[in-house]
Amino acid sequence: PVRLVHNDAKPANLVRHAHERPCVIDLDTIGPGRLGYDLGELVRSIIPENGNAPLDLLAIENVWAGFVDGWRHPLDRAERSAVPIAGVVLSTELAGRFVTDHLEGDRYFAIGRGATNQMRARVQMRRAALPLDALDHLRERAENLLSTRP
């Protein structure tokens, strides 16, 4: 279902203070969307940019658990099935956005010293490949986690 979501739920948009709950910032992106967008962005942000680095399955599970527990509403079947692939989907989507911007003259995403949107797209595709290679394992872990939640 379409819900009210942040649409840019990455660690940089969470302010943390010792002994307090995190506070969400960058509220201008809030609007209708799917929970998988926010969960996928959080997972995408912890997938290594270097394709040679290992995928931290425990970190991904912790993101899933924190997200689902923080949501406080039951997830429907489609939302549950999106959990293991959300990081892949968001990494692939961002790669497409970087490629598009590259082909259109780098007008949207600013490019810095040595960085290009073509290179950024390749990084995101590597980020998508890591969890995709472990998808069966991620599905099993997501099913185990979600079986203990409403």
Task: Print the domain residue range for 51.
Answer: 3-146
Question: How long is the chain?
Answer: 150
* Total tally of structural domains belonging to the chain: 1
Q: Supply the angle between the helices 117-133 and 35-46 in degrees, to the nearest 10.
A: 100
pLDDT at 101: 95
| pTM assigned to the model | 0.86
Give the CA distances from residue 109 to residues 20, 28, 120, 135, in Å, rounded to whole numbers and listed in that order: 33, 18, 10, 30
Give the residue ranges of the chain where pLDDT is below 70. 51
Instruction: Return the pLDDT at 12.
Output: 86
pLDDT tens track for 26-67: 888 999 999 999 999 999 999 998 767 899 999 999 999 999
